Structure 1
Amino acid sequence: MSVDNQFAPAISVIMPVYNSEAYLREAIESVLNQSFTDFEFLIFNDGSTDNSADIILSYNDERIIYYGSSVNVGYTPLLNKGLKKARGRYIARMDSDDIALPDRFEKQFNFLEKNRDIAVCGGFFEFTGTELSNKPFNWVSETDPEFIKINLLFDCAICHPTVMLRAEELAKSSLYYNEALEPSEDYDFWIRISNSKRLANIPDVILKYRLNSNQVSNKKNHQQLTNKANFITSQLKALGINPTKLELRLHDYLFFCSAVPVYDYLPKLDTWIKKLKAANNCANAYDEAKFNTYLDDLYKRNKIDLSNKIKQLTFKENLIFLVKCLLKWRSLR
Structure 2
Amino acid sequence: MYYLFIVNIKVSVVIPTYNRYEYLLNAVNSVKNQDFKEFEIIIVNDGSIDKNYYEKNLNDLNVKQIDIKENQKIKNGFASDAIRNIGIEIAQGKYIAFLDDDDIWLSNKLYKQYNLLESSQNKMSSTDGLIGQGVFDPQKKYKLFNQEFYFKVISKKYKNTKFFKRNSLFSKFEYPKIFDFSFIEIHNCIITSSVMIERELLQKIGMFDSSLPNGVGDYKCWLKALEYTNCDYISDPLFYYDATHGEGQNYK
Q: TM-score, normalised by structure 1?
A: 0.58
User: Separation in 2 of the partners of 1:203 and 1:140?
Assistant: 9
Offset at residue 151 of structure 1 (A): 2.6
Cα distance change, pair 2–34 in 1 and its aligned pair in 2 (3 A): farther
Offset at residue 39 of structure 1 (A): 0.8
Residue 68 of structure 2 corresponds to which residue in structure 1?
69
1:50 aligns to what SS in structure 2?
coil
User: Separation in 2 of the partners of 1:135 and 1:29?
Assistant: 21
Aligned: 1:166 with 2:170: no
Q: TM-score, normalised by structure 2?
A: 0.76
Identity %: 27
Cα distance change, pair 28–6 in 1 and its aligned pair in 2 (3 A): closer
Aligned: 1:24 with 2:29: no
2:185 aligns to what SS in structure 1?
coil
Matches within 5 A, 1:43-54: 43-54=43-54
User: Separation in 2 of the partners of 1:136 and 1:114?
Assistant: 31
Kept after mapping to 1: 8 A contact 2:14/2:96: yes
Cα distance change, pair 44–13 in 1 and its aligned pair in 2 (3 A): same
User: Separation in 2 of the partners of 1:55 and 1:155?
Assistant: 42
1:23 aligns to what SS in structure 2?
helix
Kept after mapping to 2: 8 A contact 1:24/1:52: no
User: Separation in 2 of the partners of 1:150 and 1:60?
Assistant: 41
Task: Give the aligned length.
Answer: 212
Kept after mapping to 2: 8 A contact 1:19/1:51: no
Offset at residue 169 of structure 1 (A): 2.6
Q: Deviations over 1:236-291 (max 9, x none)?
A: xxxxxxxxxxxxxxxxxxxxxxxxxxxxxxxxxxxxxxxxxxxxxxxxxxxxxxxx
* Structure 2 counterpart of 1:191, from 223, 226, 238: 223
Structure 1: 5+ residue stretches without partners: 219-333
Cα distance change, pair 52–200 in 1 and its aligned pair in 2 (3 A): farther
Residue 126 of structure 2 corresponds to which residue in structure 1?
122
Offset at residue 196 of structure 1 (A): 2.2
Query: What amino acid is the match of 1:138?
Result: L
Residue 88 of structure 1 corresponds to which residue in structure 2?
93
Kept after mapping to 1: 8 A contact 2:17/2:251: no
Aligned: 1:105 with 2:138: no
- Over the aligned positions, Cα root-mean-square deviation in angstroms equals 2.5
Offset at residue 65 of structure 1 (A): 0.8
2:202 aligns to what SS in structure 1?
helix
Matches within 5 A, 1:224-235: none
Residue 33 of structure 2 corresponds to which residue in structure 1?
33
Offset at residue 175 of structure 1 (A): 2.9
Which structure: greater strand fraction? Answer: 2
* Higher RCO (C-alpha 8 Å, min separation 6): 2
Residue 204 of structure 1 corresponds to which residue in structure 2?
236
Kept after mapping to 1: 8 A contact 2:3/2:59: no
Offset at residue 60 of structure 1 (A): 6.2
Q: Deviations over 1:207-254 (max 9, x none)?
A: 001111656379xxxxxxxxxxxxxxxxxxxxxxxxxxxxxxxxxxxx
Structure 2: 5+ residue stretches without partners: 74-79, 148-174
Of 208-217 and 91-100, more deviation after overlay is shown by: 208-217
Which structure: greater helix fraction? Answer: 1
Cα distance change, pair 100–51 in 1 and its aligned pair in 2 (3 A): farther
Offset at residue 135 of structure 1 (A): 5.5
Offset at residue 83 of structure 1 (A): 1.5
